[in-house]
Structure 1
Amino acid sequence: MKSSAVTLEVATARLRARLDNSAAAKPLSSANFGSPKLANRAKAAVLVPLFEEEEGGDGLSVWLTKRSEVNVSTHKGEVSLPGGKGEEDEDCYQTAVREAREEVGIGEEHVNLIGCLPPVLSKHGLVVSPVVATLTKEAPEPRVQTPETEVVFKVPLSIFNRECDRARHRSKLYSWNTTPYTLHFFDYEDDAGQAHTIWGLTAYILIEVAEIVYGAKPYFPKHVNASKY
């Protein structure tokens, strides 16, 4: 199914209707999927910073980062949303905005909170809360602020939903604790000509956001039919 152009105003309205705004103000420590078993897991939050391209652009885009190959202990060289582990007594929004400022210089004064997707569990056992927001038109272009971040670049949100970008997407079946799941990969070349692969948790979050924004399921199956395995 092909995604049609959506304005930032329409996207915001659709996201507000679906996302939990109150969750952003809850202590990050409470993000546990309602499972006591996850209460002691490390918690993190990421910012999904949406913005509208200038006239002639590709509609809605999102800022992503590529992590350093040498200055981080995990996720070396991977593409990710700005974010990281929470500090004591922080809520999801505070964590996501603080990390975005530290990593790429996105100031809170330019962030308009929309709401949160349900928390997700990363491959390293972190409970991650995705905080969806829009950036003001006055927001300066993000810049790398820390050695842990190698590059910051923008990606059209539509590549995670529209069929005309089929060539960018591939998927692979994995098993985790005997449970089958689908891992999605999206190839993208940024404005500087650098090739990136967006996959894993970051891809999953953006697929979910794009489905809400465009009001259409993606052209590919999101999840494995576990009954077949």
Structure 2
Amino acid sequence: MNFDELTRFLEKRVQKSMPGDAAHQKMKPKLPNGAPIKMTHATPPRKGGVLILLYEDEGVVRFPLIERPSYEGIHSGQMALPGGRYEEEDMDQYQTALRESEEEIGVDQKEVKIIGSLSEFFVSASNYMVLPVIGKIERKPAFVPEPREVADIVMPPVTHLIDSGRLKEKEMTVRNDFKMVCPYFDLEDRVVWGATAMMLAEFVEIMKEYPVR
């Protein structure tokens, strides 16, 4: 997979209509009986941004995922894309994704070129409306995890996302012994599920259109 050809393809592709919810649904957790999981919130969702950061490492196109530390919260210990909450000083959710990624994994936001974005995604578990931003950087980054927010960083190849053998499913138990059946991506021996997997599922759908040579 050629880095320059891929990023040129993505720059054009993100200008067209996106798969959106049809892609998200493929990785959506459900109850063990197959019923959908429903959550309601009393307040409007907050805005956020995450970054799919593409770079080349010895001919392999990769992107970083972070492992959240264990804490008393909804996303404790989960794999995620770098990013976070929109702040008033941010011009938009694109800047949110860049700023938060710099804070979490040490990537200089001035070196990241924005390619575009996927569909805005509602994270029902935490009541966030998140914009998944696609960016690229012309060198292999020297990642520096922010220890309060990042327990580890893994850098899977993009090709692993479109490898059907890495798309799996398992029953998981989360807070208060709540059981779910979760589709997930097996990336770098990590279980990437939930909102992150659903956002990446849309990226996978457009990547299927890329003519791999």
Match of 1:45 among 28, 46, 49: 49
CA–CA separation in structure 2 for the residues paired with 1:49 and 1:155 = 11
Which residue identity does 2:186 align to in structure 1? Answer: D
CA–CA separation in structure 1 for the residues paired with 2:183 and 2:201 = 9
1:125 and 2:127 aligned: yes
Match of 1:204 among 182, 191, 198: 198
State the aligned residue count.
Answer: 177
Residue 30 of structure 1: aligned partner: none
Residue 14 of structure 1: aligned partner: 9
Structure 2 unaligned blocks of 5 or more: 17-40, 172-180
Residue 70 of structure 2: aligned partner: 69
Residue 152 of structure 1: aligned partner: 153
Structure 1 unaligned blocks of 5 or more: 1-5, 22-36, 174-181, 190-194, 217-229
In the TM superposition, 1:1-229 aligns within 5 A as 6-20=1-15, 40-55=44-59, 59-70=60-71, 73-90=73-90, 91-122=92-123, 123-137=125-139, 139-163=140-164, 166=165, 168-171=166-169, 183-189=182-188, 195-215=189-209
Residue 219 of structure 1: aligned partner: none
Q: CA RMSD in A?
A: 2.8
CA–CA separation in structure 2 for the residues paired with 1:110 and 1:100 = 12
Residue 32 of structure 1: aligned partner: none
Runs (4+) off by over 3 Å: 37-40
Q: TM-score, normalised to structure 2's length?
A: 0.73
**Aligned-residue offset at 1:160:** 1.8
CA–CA separation in structure 2 for the residues paired with 1:151 and 1:74 = 18
SS in 1 for 2:84: strand
CA–CA separation in structure 1 for the residues paired with 2:42 and 2:191 = 30
CA–CA separation in structure 2 for the residues paired with 1:133 and 1:111 = 6
Closer/same/farther in 2, CA of residues 39 and 115 from structure 1, 3 Å limit:
farther
Of all paired residues, the percent bearing the same amino acid is: 30
Q: TM-score, normalised to structure 1's length?
A: 0.68
